[in-house]
Amino acid sequence: MTDQLPEKGIVLFHGNATRGGDIHPGPNRLLICLKAESPLCPQAQLHVVQNPYEASQFLGCYFIPHWPQPGLQPRLDQRQDKFETIAFLGHCNSLAAELRTPDWKMQLGQRGLNWQPIINTNGWNNQHSIDTRWNDYQHIDAIVAVREFHLKRPGYRSKPATKLYNAWLAGVPAILGRELAYRAEGTVDVNYLEANSMAQVLSCLDELKQNIEFRRRLVKNGQAVAKQYSTAAITQKWIQFLSEVAMPRYQAWCNNSPWGYQMQHWQAQWLNYCDRTLRRLKF
Query: Does any domain span residue 214?
Result: yes
Query: Does any domain span residue 207?
Result: yes
| pTM (two decimals) | 0.90
Query: Does any domain span residue 2?
Result: no
For 74, 103, 142, 177, the CA distances from 97, given in Å and listed in that order, are 28, 11, 19, 13
The reply to whether 86 and 217 lie within a common domain is yes
The reply to whether 244 and 123 lie within a common domain is no
For 147, 239, 242, 252, 260, the CA distances from 6, given in Å and listed in that order, are 40, 21, 18, 18, 21
The reply to whether 128 and 32 lie within a common domain is no
Please tell me the total count of domains within the chain: 2
pLDDT on residue 117: 94
The reply to whether 100 and 51 lie within a common domain is no
Query: Does any domain span residue 38?
Result: yes
pLDDT on residue 58: 83
**pLDDT block averages, 10 residues each, the chain of length 283:** 89 87 87 92 93 91 95 97 97 94 96 94 70 92 97 93 97 98 97 98 98 98 96 97 97 82 70 66 53
- CB-based contacts of 89, cutoff 8 Å, min separation 6: 69, 117, 118, 133, 134, 137, 143, 145, 163, 166
The reply to whether 206 and 258 lie within a common domain is no
pLDDT on residue 273: 66
Rounded-to-integer distance, Cα 88 and Cα 90, Å: 6
The reply to whether 116 and 214 lie within a common domain is yes
Rounded-to-integer distance, Cα 40 and Cα 47, Å: 8
Query: Does any domain span residue 138?
Result: yes
The reply to whether 127 and 209 lie within a common domain is yes
Assign 3-class secondary structure to 27-51: CCEEEEEECCCCCCCCCCCEEEECC
Which CATH number do you get for residue 135?
Answer: 3.40.50.2000
Burial 145-177 (b: 16+ CB within 10 A, else e): bbbbbeeeebbbbbbbbbbbbbbbbbbbbbbbb
The reply to whether 27 and 157 lie within a common domain is no
Rounded-to-integer distance, Cα 98 and Cα 104, Å: 7
Nearest to 191 by CA among 160, 215, 162, 159: 215
The reply to whether 109 and 204 lie within a common domain is yes
The reply to whether 81 and 48 lie within a common domain is no
- CB-based contacts of 212, cutoff 8 Å, min separation 6: 81
Instruction: Count the alpha carbons within 13 Å of 176 in the hemisphere toward its beta carbon.
Output: 32
Query: Does any domain span residue 71?
Result: no
Q: Cβ–Cβ contacts within 10 Å for residue 40, how many?
A: 24
On whether the CB atoms of residues 193 and 167 are closer than 8 A, the answer is no
The reply to whether 45 and 60 lie within a common domain is yes
The type of residue at 283 is F
Say whether 90 sits in a helix, a strand or coil: strand
Nearest to 9 by CA among 198, 247, 258: 247
Query: Does any domain span residue 190?
Result: yes
Domain that holds residue 39: 9-64+231-280
Angle at 121 between CA 204 and CA 156, to 5 degrees: 55
Query: Does any domain span residue 126?
Result: yes
The reply to whether 81 and 206 lie within a common domain is yes
pLDDT on residue 259: 61
How many residues appear in the chain?
A: 283
pLDDT on residue 277: 66
- The residue out of 184, 201, 228 marking a domain boundary is 228
